Amino acid sequence: METILQTYYFYPNETVVWSLMIVLYPFISGMVAGTFITGALSKAFGIAYLEPIFKPALVASVSFLCFATLPLMLHLEQPTRAAYIFITPHLTSAMSGFGYIYMGFLVLVIVMIWYAFRPNFVAKASSGGLKGVFYKLICLGVTKISKASYEHDQKVIKALAVIGIPFACILTGYVGFVFAAVKTNMWWSSALTPVVFILSAMVCGLAFTIILYHVHAKLTKTAVSSDCVRGLVRYLWGFLLFAITLELLELLHLAYYETDYWSIIREMLEGNLAMSYWGAQVVVGGVIPLLLLSYILFVNVSERTRSMLAYFSSFLLILQVFSMRWNVVIGGQLLSKTYLGVQEWNLEIGGREGLVAGVMVVLAPVVLLAILRKWLLTDPEVRPGSI
Amino acid sequence: MTELSRRSFIVTTSAAAMSCGLASYALAGAGEEHTYEFMVDPSKCIGCIHCVKACILENDVPEHNFRTWIERYTFKKDQTFIVESPNGGLDGFGEPDVDPKDIKKAVFIPKLCNQCDNTPCLQVCPVGATYMGPEGLIHIDSEHCIGCGYCIQSCPYGARFYNHETGAADKCDWCYHRISKGMVPACVEVCPTEARRFSIDGSDPLIASEKNEGNTRGLRQSIGTEPKLAYLGLEEKVR
């Protein structure tokens, strides 16, 4: 193999163009898709033990969905021109379709939420004053629910879940494809990238749902269903295993080919990205939770231990997925297009794409979720007979 | 005076409108299209950086960004090499950090937009702000660019950058505002050694003859971008 790293060189225009906001864009999109699929599983496949997390996961999904484009808007040099992507889409671009996919999915999730919470809205529509008017408007004037219409709603929810699961995969896989379509960046340009994005979206969606379920149960002083937690952990273990395997296979593939590019990838993974890749993504966020989840699944543990370890592992897994997004987005730009060097880059604290703005972007959907949880998830379950 | 029937009025005005439309279409398409060719001869480049300075002045290029820049490749006898371009060449090159006895040769490589025929920057622009003009040159409509940076990521030559003054992606367009008026690009105009040569409709026969004899090639041809910018006698290791 020719020794090429005798020199260190970047083109003078090279810099990290996509920073924290573009890390958050696939992270939040993944959260949208992951939580949606987690919630929809119970309806699409009739998995009864996952029923308790259907509504929390759906509300989490819409909370993240509302802010999925915020990092993009903060990143754009010309955010006021963002609508051009709808008005004059350039269809050869992998990016041009995102707006349509996003809007389509947004409509689907809102319709699904409406159907899922319609009995609650109808129940509240009978109250007087402005509140009653508000709920009458939301119910589109229909203030009664019969057994037949309830069953019809459940059928629609099932249909939306069946359509929504592949739609969510397209949403997050498509974000992966935006990176994979950059032909000259070997760190991104792989057919596996969209698949890895889908799997890691499932990991963070399941992990977030486990956390949300525990927090919600604590706040409403209700019991956590151990069957539900066990089921979520089983899915989480499986998706995590696939995600880690594919991530490492991709790396192994690059290493085995020993192209010019591998020299700088190796240098990056041993240097600038060592902590976030080996430390955060592989060990702390990957291997440790995998071991913990295996322990929960294959060793007979008490319900309390299972819940605690699942809850703790979920935080580590969200860190894993965030690190993975970071390593993909930032890592791909640290590698010089000359194949002759790895850039130094530090995240700025202030500014439109700095750490403070990033924290706010991450907190925004969590705050919305807290509001929606209070509004939608604290009412008792309403059935046709009770209205 | 003859009275016009409603039928003949409609027919006449429609015909007139269609004629006007066709005429304006024909006139619009009747703009002169030229053939532009750019050739760089690295063996003649002395690294004087006049071209880089001229480009900055001509195109209001922001500080630390470059529409054109100069690299120095120092090839060593052990088959390795060193590449440098301090601030695009503006900070001067100085002596190579290599024992002179180990140097096989050193060469300056002028860099600019390669105006690729199979261009990844055009393909990835989500709003069509990057487009190919009738002469095959790649332009950016800075009034339409949303500043997503996708084109910057996709250019394998590092020719694009964010122009924070215009809020849009930016790159060399071979000084289109000059060449469309029959002038040569600013960098070509100031090059004292003719390391950069430009031809409008075959005005520089040397470019055509070097190309015909197969002495030129594009940068990093293996990646399939089909660059129009031709380099004469380019070392394969140059990227």
> Which residues make Cβ contacts (< 8 Å) with residue A383, sequence separation at least 6?
A119, A150
User: If we measure between CA atoms, which residue out of A212, A168, A232, A228 comes closest to residue A34?
Assistant: A168
Contact B79 A2 (CB under 8 A): yes
Judging contacts by C-beta atoms under 8 Å, the chain A residues touching residue B64 are 12
Using an 8 Å Cβ cutoff, are B72 and B106 in contact?
yes
C-alpha to C-alpha distance for A66 and A372, rounded to whole angstroms: 12
Helix/strand number for chain B, H first, E second: 7, 11
Looking at beta carbons, which residues of chain B come within 8 Å of A4? 80
Residues 6+ apart with CB under 8 A from A368: A63, A66, A67
pLDDT, mean of residues A292-297: 96
Mutation target vs B (from A93, A329, A335; most B CBs, 10 A cutoff): A93
Residues of chain B positioned with their CB less than 8 A from the CB of A78: 145-147, 167-168
A143 burial level (CB within 10 Å; 0-12, 13-18, 19+): middle
Q: What is the pLDDT of residues A30-48, one digit of tens each?
A: 999 999 999 999 999 999 9
pLDDT in tens, A307-362: 999 999 999 999 999 999 999 999 999 999 998 999 999 999 999 999 999 999 99
Residue A284, pLDDT above cutoff 70: yes
User: In this model, does residue A373 exceed pLDDT 50?
Assistant: yes
CA dist A362 and A208 (Å) reads 13
CB atoms within 10 A of CB B152: 24
Q: What sign does the CA torsion over B194, B197, B201, B204 have? A: positive
Instruction: Among A17, A19, A101, A182, pick the best mutation site for testing chain B contact (most B Cβ within 10 A).
Output: A17
Q: How many CB pairs under 8 A join A and B?
A: 131
Give, in words, the CATH class of A20-386.
mainly alpha
d(CA B151, CA B126): 9
- Nearest C-alpha in B relative to A92: B123
CB B175 within 8 A of CB B59: yes
Least CB–CB distance from A84: residue in B111, B127, B167: B127
What are the phi and psi torsion angles at B108 (to 5°)?
A: -90, 135
- pLDDT value at residue A240: 96
> Cα(A40)–Cα(A169) distance, rounded to whole angstroms?
12
Contacts B70 to A, Cβ<8 Å: none
How many Å lie between the alpha carbon of B8 and the closest alpha carbon of chain A?
Answer: 40
> Domain extents for chain A?
20-386
Q: Buried (b) or exposed (e) across B32-66, using 16+ Cβ within 10 A?
A: eeeebbbbbbbebbebbbbbbbbbbebbebeeebb
In angstroms, rounded to a whole number, what is the distance separating the alpha carbons of residues B198 and B135?
Answer: 14
Average pLDDT over residues A188-193: 92
Query: Above 50 in pLDDT, residue A4?
Result: no
Which helix (DSSP H) or strand (DSSP E) does residue B216 occupy?
strand B216-217
Q: A152-156, A367-371, B23-27: which has the minimum mean pLDDT? A: B23-27
Residue window 49-108, chain B: list those with CB within 8 Å of chain A: 64-66, 69, 71, 76, 79-85, 87-88
**Shortest Cα distance, chain B CAs vs residue A324, angstroms:** 19
Three-state DSSP string of A103-128 = HHHHHHHHHHHHHHHHHHHHHHHCCC
The reply to whether residue B126 touches residue A3, judged by beta carbons under 8 angstroms, is no
**CA B171 to centroid of chain Cα atoms:** 8
- Using alpha carbons only, how large is chain B's radius of gyration in Å? 23
B127 touches chain A (CB under 8 A): yes
Q: How far apart are CA A242 and CA B40, in angstroms?
A: 50
Contact criterion met (CB below 8 Å) for A42 and A53:
yes
The pLDDT, as a whole number, for residue A158 is 97
With bands split at pLDDT 50, 70 and 90, how would you rate the model's confidence at A126?
confident
Distance from CA of A5 to the nearest CA of B (A): 9
Amino acid at A128: G
| Best B102, B123, B239 residue to mutate vs chain A (most A CBs within 10 Å) | B239
> Do B147 and A78 make contact, defined as CB atoms within 8 angstroms?
yes
Over chain A, what HEC string results?
A: CCCCCCCCCCCCCCCCCCCHHHHHHHHHHHHHHHHHHHHHHHHHCCCHHHHHHHHHHHHHHHHHHHCCCHHHHHHCCCHHHCCHHHHCCCCCCCCCCHHHHHHHHHHHHHHHHHHHHHHHHHHHHCCCHHHHHHHHHHCCCCCCCCHHHHHHHHHHHHHHHHHHHHHHHHHHHHHHHHHHCCCCCCCCCCCHHHHHHHHHHHHHHHHHHHHHHHHHHHHCCCCCCHHHHHHHHHHHHHHHHHHHHHHHHHHHHHHHHCCHHHHHHHHHHHCCCHHHHHHHHHHHHHHHHHHHHHHHHHCCCCHHHHHHHHHHHHHHHHHHHHHHHHHHHHHHHHECCCCCCECCCCCCCCCCCCHHHHHHHHHHHHHHHHHHHHHHHCCCCCCHHHC
Neighbours of B24 (CB within 10 A): 10
Tell me the backbone φ, ψ of residue B31, rounded to 5 degrees: -60, 145
For chain B, positions 1-60, list CB contacts with chain A under 8 A: none
**Spatial CB neighbours of B218, under 8 Å, sequence gap ≥ 6:** B114, B225, B226, B227, B228, B229, B230, B231
pLDDT reported for residue A30: 96
pLDDT per residue over A215-264, tens digit each?
Answer: 999 999 999 999 999 999 999 999 999 999 999 999 999 999 877 788 89
CA B25 to chain A, closest CA, distance in angstroms equals 22
% of chain B exceeding 90 in pLDDT: 80
Gap between the Cα atoms of A350 and A356, Å rounded:
6
Global pTM?
0.90
Cβ distance B158 to A75 less than 8 Å, yes or no, reads no
- The strands making up B81-84's β-sheet, listed across from edge to edge, are B81-84, B69-76, B103-111
* Cβ–Cβ gap B156/A17 under 8 Å: no
Q: Enumerate the H helices of B73-171 as residue ranges.
A: 120-124, 150-154
**pLDDT bracket for residue A144 (50, 70, 90):** confident
- Alpha carbons A149 and A155: distance in angstroms, whole number: 10
